[in-house]
Amino acid sequence: MIALPGDMRVRLVTALILVVAISQLQTIPVAATVLAAAVTVAVMSGIGGKAWLRMLHVETFMILLFVTLPFTVPGRAVLTIGPFDASAEGFTRAAVIACKVSASVLTIVVFLGSVEAMRLGAALHSLRVPEPIVRLFVLTVRYLSVIGGEARRLQEAMRARAFRPGSNRHTWRSYGNLVGMLLVRALDRAQRVEEAMLCRGFSGRFPWQKPPRLSRSEMGFMALATTAAVLITAADRL
């Protein structure tokens, strides 16, 4: 088990530096090494089983990428299916992308997977992200759970009235009404929230807590991550 820094700013900046470096790798030895390192760190920092499942979540076009790349990248043919030749270079390219995507997802899960979105807002603010964006972020996080609950209740009410979703106009219309209702209630709620905020003297800015200064070990950790990022980039290009 290793303990990563708890400070959100450190986690955010470290994750960003590492993912930027990982996303631009081009050679398979470096990409594979980085993936192995990411898996090791993920195991040692004890991320949960649910977090590992995220790696399996491949978007539709990711699958397509792995199916088509061997055939579209020109190079030495190693496999022939009908009129199509799969090239060794194509397989390598697909493998590099797979390593990079997985290593990036793991990095994000390790550094940001267990954070509360609310704390992330404060970190974004102390990293000088424009204040209105941060305010939008924390309020969206806050009301997502409230409105998500409302959406669940509306869907339950539909099910209780024998609604069964299918690919037909009735379903689309019903879901459209659901979304419309959700928006009407959201606007009503926004009105109440605005009034409540004005009552309590909201002047257009939240009073953010002053963030603590970074400790020497936290600075050291970020320096270490930056060095790692520079090293893998150098190893990749040289």
Partner 1 sequence: MAHIPDGILSAPVLIGGAVIAAGGVAMALRRLEDRMVPRAAILSAAFFAGSLIAVPVGPSSVHLLFTGLMGVMLGLMAFPAVLVALLLQTVLFGFGGLTTLGVNTVNIALPGVLLGLALGPAIRAASPGRAAMLAAVCGALSVAGTGALVALSLWLSSPVFVPVAKIMLITYLPLALGEAAVTAAAVGFLSRVQPAALRLVAT
Restricting to residues 30-49, name those near partner 1 by CB under 8 A.
none
Binders of partner 1 among 186-225, rule CB under 8 A? 186-187, 189-190, 193-194, 197-198, 202-205
Among 47, 122, 147, 228, binds partner 1 (CB under 8 A): 147
**For residues 40 and 44, what is the distance between their CA atoms, to the nearest angstrom?**
6
Residue entry with tokens 């303990």:
3
Q: What sections of the chain are H helices per DSSP? A: 8-23, 28-44, 49-56, 60-72, 88-112, 117-126, 131-160, 169-199, 216-237
Convert residues 52-91 into a mask of x (bound to partner 1 by CB under 8 A) and - (unbound): --x--x-xxxx-xx--xx-xxx----------------x-
Q: Which is nearer to partner 1, 181 or 224 (CB)?
A: 181
| Residue with Cβ nearer partner 1 (5 or 90) | 90
**Which DSSP state fits 81?**
E
Question: Letter for the amino acid at 123?
Answer: A
User: Does the footprint of partner 1 cover residue 178 (CB under 8 A)?
Assistant: yes
Least Cβ distance, residue 41 to partner 1 (angstroms): 16
Which residue of 41, 150, 211, 214 would you call a contact of partner 1, by CB under 8 A?
150
Instruction: Report residue 43 as tokens.
Output: 């195991």
CB 12 within 8 A of CB 220: no
Q: How far apart are CA 58 and CA 185, in angstroms?
A: 35
Taking CB under 8 A as the rule, does residue 104 contact partner 1? Answer: yes
Minimum Å gap between C-beta 216 and partner 1 is 26
